[in-house]
Amino acid sequence: MPDGTVLYEPRGPQLWQPGCAALGVVIGIAAIATGQLGGIVLVVLFGLFLAVSVMWYRQRPDRLTIDEAGFTVSHGALTSRCLWSEVESATVVRGKGRPWVHIQFRSDSQATYPWRKALPGSSRRTAATLPANYGMDLDELAALLERRRRQALASESDAPDTPTDGPEEALPAGYIIHTIDDIGVEIIRPGVTLSCFTLFVGVWTVLWDIATISVIAAAGRDGFDAGEVVLLALTAAVGAAFTVLGLRALLIRRSWVVTDGVVDERSTFKGIGEIRHRRHLDVARIEMRTGLWETGAGRTDDLVLWTRGSSSPLELHPNVENTPGPLRALGHLFARHTRRPFTTVEQRIPEPKPPESD
Q: Write the DSSP symbol of residue 2.
A: -
Tens digits of residue pLDDT in 8-47: 776 666 677 788 888 888 888 887 887 777 778 888 888 8
Asked which of 123, 158, 193 is the last residue of a domain, the reply is 158
pLDDT confidence of residue 243: 81
pLDDT (mean) for 296-302: 83
Find residue 54's DSSP bridge partners.
none
Average model confidence (pLDDT) across the chain: 78
Is 6 inside any structural domain?
A: no
Spatial distance between the Cα atoms of 118 and 102, rounded to a whole number of angstroms:
8
> Residue 1: pLDDT above 60?
no
> Residue 194: pLDDT above 60?
no
Sign of the four-CA dihedral 350, 352, 356, 358: negative
> Residue 164: pLDDT above 50?
no
Provide the CATH number for the domain around residue 79. 2.30.29
Is 251 inside any structural domain?
A: no
Asked which of 158, 191, 213 is the last residue of a domain, the reply is 158
pLDDT confidence of residue 84: 87
Q: Which of the four pLDDT bands, split at 50, 70 and 90, describes residue 163?
A: very low
Exposure string over 108-122, b if 16+ CB within 10 A, otherwise e = ebebbbebbbbeeee
Is 167 inside any structural domain?
A: no
pLDDT (mean) for 173-180: 80
pLDDT confidence of residue 342: 92
Spatial distance between the Cα atoms of 29 and 17, rounded to a whole number of angstroms:
19
Q: Which of the four pLDDT bands, split at 50, 70 and 90, describes residue 289?
A: very high
Structural domains in the chain (count): 2
Of 54-58, 226-230, 292-296, 332-336, give the range with the top mean pLDDT. 332-336
pLDDT confidence of residue 2: 41
More confident residue, 357 or 71: 71
Q: Write the DSSP symbol of residue 309.
A: T
Distances (CA, A) of 43 to 2, 201, 313, 345: 48, 18, 51, 57
Is 308 inside any structural domain?
A: yes
More confident residue, 325 or 203: 325
Q: Which of the four pLDDT bands, split at 50, 70 and 90, describes residue 102?
A: confident
Spatial distance between the Cα atoms of 137 and 150, rounded to a whole number of angstroms:
20
Is 334 inside any structural domain?
A: yes
Alpha-carbon dihedral of residues 9, 15, 21, 22, nearest 10 degrees?
Answer: 140
Of 204-218, 232-246, 278-292, give the range with the top mean pLDDT. 278-292
Is 154 inside any structural domain?
A: yes
Tens digits of residue pLDDT in 258-283: 988 899 988 888 767 778 888 988 89
pLDDT confidence of residue 334: 92
Is 337 inside any structural domain?
A: yes
Q: Per-residue DSSP letters for 206-273?
A: HHHHHHHHHHHHHHHHH---HHHHHHHHHHHHHHHHHHHHHHHHHHEEEEEEEETTEEEEEEEETTTE
> Residue 97: pLDDT above 80?
no
Q: What is the extent of the structural domain holding 124?
A: 63-158
Is 204 inside any structural domain?
A: no
pLDDT confidence of residue 4: 65
Quick check: pTM over 0.75?
no
Q: How many CA atoms lie within 13 A of 74 on its CB side?
A: 12
Contact 41, 31 (CB under 8 A): no
Contact 335, 341 (CB under 8 A): yes
